[in-house]
């Protein structure tokens, strides 16, 4: 009955992230929207690798039976590390922009272009 619940949660979290990125003018809030999208991708990967009644993919003394997919767990861990690095880099860019222009408003940054 609730088999599709993780995928519905992925869609809702990703939609919130996309809406946040598109509708907010503050650069920090845009980065928070990107972080929501990254979290939705992580949840999607974990939901794909889940097996009903599966055991952890530890190969020493593992009982016979179906294991959950270790590939998506490794991809999720890699995605978390990349997401932290990306978020830190974007936040440092916002700090530099704020120090130079005194604002983190994306609308003001667009006016500087032309």
**What digits encode the pLDDT tens for the residues 30-53?**
999 999 999 999 999 988 887 777
Q: Please report the pLDDT score of residue 99 as a whole number.
A: 93
CB atoms within 10 A of CB 112: 7
Domain boundaries, the chain: 5-55+63-113
- pTM for this prediction: 0.82
The domain made up of 5-55+63-113 is a member of CATH 1.10.287.3510? yes
36 touches 14 (CB < 8 A): yes
Which burial class, exposed, middle or buried, applies to 82 when counting CB atoms under 10 A from its CB (0-12, 13-18, 19+)?
exposed
Pairwise CA distance, residues 105 & 91, whole Å? 14
Higher pLDDT, 29 or 63: 29
Taking only the tens place, the pLDDT of each residue in 41-100 is 999 998 888 777 777 666 666 666 677 777 888 899 999 999 999 999 999 999 999 998
């Amino acid at each position: 009955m609730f088999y599709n619940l993780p995928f519905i949660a992925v869609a809702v979290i990703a939609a919130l992230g996309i809406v946040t990125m598109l509708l907010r003018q503050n650069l920090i809030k845009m980065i928070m929207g990107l972080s929501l999208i990254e979290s939705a991708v992580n949840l999607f990967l974990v939901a794909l690798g889940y097996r009903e009644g599966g055991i952890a993919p530890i190969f020493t003394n593992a009982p016979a039976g179906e294991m959950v997919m270790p590939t998506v767990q490794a991809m999720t861990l890699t995605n978390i590390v990349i997401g932290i690095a990306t978020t830190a880099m974007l936040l440092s860019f916002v700090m530099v922009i704020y120090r130079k222009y005194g604002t983190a408003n994306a609308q003001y940054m667009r006016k500087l272009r032309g």
